[in-house]
Structure 1
Amino acid sequence: MTEWRYDALERLTCAYFSDTESATAPCDLRYEGKPNGNLSFKSDVGALSYDDPLHPHAVTSAGTDSFSYDREPDDALGRVTARTEAGMSFRDVLARDIRDVRQIVGPKYDKGLRDLLQVYRQNSRTHG
């Protein structure tokens, strides 16, 4: 069973696996936060950064992964437009993820995957 610990502001600080609650059990996963509520560290990922002034609560790096977001003033959704994962380009990450989805679900969602690729191609032309 997973047990949780929180700080004085009720933010998650620790997850551990035990049949009983314990204030001293070592954390299997540890979390640290900033005063603004952003998560600053996750033990299975590493440090998290928020370096995009247009999206102050959007992660720009998490461990070895990095992210960037829409910059268009009329698009306040803050959609991820680029992602680098452990040195892989966004295109390579996307291709790998699509391949993995196809292995799991087969060709059932091919139209959705084609639509996703179309969005990527449009973003590549306008943002990159």
Structure 2
Amino acid sequence: MSRQGSRDTAPEIAVRRLLHASGLRYRVHVPVPGVPRRTIDIVFGKAKIAVFVDGCFWHGCPLHATQPKANAEWWRAKLDKNMTRDRDTTEHLRSAGWTVLRFWEHEPPEEVARRIAATLASARRPLGEA
């Protein structure tokens, strides 16, 4: 498990490259405000948009999550704790006024980048403008 990458994963880098190529600037691996030992994958600080690109195994994707057979009880508890932590982080950020976007690693990077850009554009639009 110690060799398992937790940041700069291939899906995350693909999304970041597309965002950067489209002219969007962001910060990466920013600590969650007010919560120790948690980070946000991609942050648009002024717009208060937090983006997470979650791995299917580690975060319990409903389509692709698998259940290890060896030491199954330990793994179930570990993965459940990950999902609880994800929900807690999302709720914490939303209560602080952030927009939270979560994507699965299997989602096409082009679609993820398009949805992020659209959310950012609507966040930057002045009130009353359509």
Q: Which has the higher strand share?
A: 1
Fold match by TM threshold 0.5 = no
TM-score normalized by structure 2?
0.32
Q: Which has the higher helix share?
A: 2
By relative contact order (CA 8 Å, sep 6+), the higher-ranking structure is: 2
TM-score normalized by structure 1?
0.32
